[in-house]
Structure 1
Amino acid sequence: MRKLFIITVLTIASFVSCEADNNLKMEVSNKQKVIELLKSIETGDQELVGYINPNKYIQHNQAVGDGLAGFGALLQQLPEGSVRVNTMRVFSDGDYVIAHTDYNFFGPKIGIDVFRFEDGLIVEHWDNLQEKVTETASGRSQVDGPAEIKDLDKTEDNKALIQNLLNDIFLGANPDKITEYISIEQYNQHNPGVKDGLAGLGEALAALAEAGMPMVYEKKHMILGEGNYVLSISEGIFMKEKVAFYDIFRLENGKVVEHWDTIENLIPESEAKNSNGKFNF
């Protein structure tokens, strides 16, 4: 089944039925398209590749070639029957859909994917993948917790709060303001190396700094959100390596109460399989 799916991906890269595209666009929400497309990597359902624009698919995963041909080539490398896909939460911001997924994809991984749509079809993809950890400092997994989207009327306020959190705390402009952004009563942590609460965060950051490997945010690239969920995409240094930071925050009553993330090393441009850049929103 998966071999047929791969052949279909490569075929659709050069041909697609306009009528089928129109039917797909009209019947399914963009969020559902993302959920179904990701699951099709596991199930081999070739029809769902029709959610991707075959003439314009810009790939920002630097380990994958551009376009549908690059996607198909990646699938060919996967061991038969090895893929598992369990998307835990999905939210959107305009033409962007964000998916937080528990994968078995060349081994157990946690992924945060961002897809951009035009006219109902996916035209661009970014992601950040991190190895899955079974034992975490908080006892929480990297993906469990709430997924319900609420407070749609607070979307812009919540995005602005995360923008200020990045500036003041992560980028260091006003670190003493941390309690203005993160709740002192509840801060559920899903980063595998950090305990719950502000004390747990401070302890983890202090340990890294003492070891001569501080976590440093250097530049923010994008903030996307819907209701009580906000994703920030940044770059910086972790464990003395250049990395991409994808942070998902859940907010209640104007404060961050939960945090999930993925951290992935950046691939040197000379080794990248496409020229689109890791970020470039």
Structure 2
Amino acid sequence: MTTRNTTTDNKSIVQRALTALVATGDVDALAPLLSDDFAHHRPDSTSKTKTEWLAAVRVALVPLAGMRVEILHVLADGDHVVMHSRRRLPGAGPGIAVVDIWRLDDGLIAEAWEIIEPVAQATANLTWWESADQ
């Protein structure tokens, strides 16, 4: 299998997994697409195992029911897939921008990283390095 085919296959696996989750809310459909040693990493340096992450997604889906997800970009290179999306709760709920990075190994999602930024706070976050005293 060529690198190009692997990249395309990995992109397809991630798109299929996330589309099914958003469309159906079926967290259990994700389980077979995750490796047994799957790890989900957070910006606060915490990580969850496959079981912990699936449980957290299951809990999060209840208040997020009806969330609109607009996938803006899906990029793949070898064993990594990056997805940039905007998500909005039903009604006038707050919008967030999300970047997910997925690493695949042997056709399964092995690791994930997720960065979430509330869209309303984006301007303030452009100057994060400035002191509050200035």
User: With structure 2 as the length reference, what TM-score do the two structures score?
Assistant: 0.69
Looking at CA atoms only, which structure, 1 or 2, has the larger radius of gyration? 1
Matched, 1:219 2:73: no
Go from structure 1 to structure 2 and tell me whether the alpha carbon gap of 1:247 and 1:168 turns closer, same or farther (over 3 Å shift): same
Rounded to whole Å, the distance in 1 between the matches of 2:106 and 2:17 is 15
User: How far 1:204 moved relative to its partner?
Assistant: 2.1
CA shift, 1:219, in A, is 1.9
Match of 2:119 in 1: 266
Aligned partners of 1:254, 1:191: CA distance in 2, in Å? 23
Residue 30 of structure 2 aligns with which residue?
A: 178
SS of the residue 1:205 aligns to: helix
Aligned to 1:123: none
Q: Out of 236, 244, 247, which is 2:97 matched to?
A: 244
| Cα deviation code 1:219-277 (max 9, x no counterpart) | 21211010000001112147x53101110000000010001111111139xx8xxxxxx
Provide TM-score, normalisation by structure 1: 0.35
Distance 1:220 1:192 in 2: 21
Q: What SS class does the counterpart of residue 267 from structure 1 fall into?
A: helix
Structure 2 distance, partners of 1:195, 1:214, is 22
Q: CA deviation at 1:174?
A: 6.7
Match of 1:45 in 2: none
Gaps of 5+ in 1: 1-150, 272-281
Within 2, Cα distance between the matches of 1:178 and 1:204?
Answer: 13
Q: Give the number of the structure whose residues are more often strand, by fraction.
A: 2
Partner of residue 196 from structure 1, selected from 38, 48, 53: 48
Identity across matched positions, percent:
22
Q: Greater relative contact order: 1 or 2 (C-alpha under 8 angstroms, separation 6 or more)?
A: 2
The yes-or-no answer on 1:234 pairing with 2:52 is: no
The verdict on how the C-alpha distance between 1:209 and 1:180 changes in structure 2, with shifts beyond 3 A counting, is closer
Deviations 1:97-121, CA, capped at 9 Å, x for gaps: xxxxxxxxxxxxxxxxxxxxxxxxx
Give the secondary structure class of the aligned counterpart of 2:104: strand
| Counterpart contact for 2:39–2:50, Cα < 8 Å | no
Task: Indicate which of 38, 48, 54 corresponds to 1:187.
Answer: 38
Distance (Å, rounded) in 1 between the aligned partners of 2:61 and 2:14 = 24
What corresponds to 2:132 in structure 1? none
Residues in 2 aligned to 1:166 and 1:249: alpha-carbon distance in whole angstroms: 11
- Number of residues paired by the alignment? 114
Structure 2: runs of 5+ lacking an equivalent: 124-134
Deviation at 1:206, TM superposition (A): 4.2
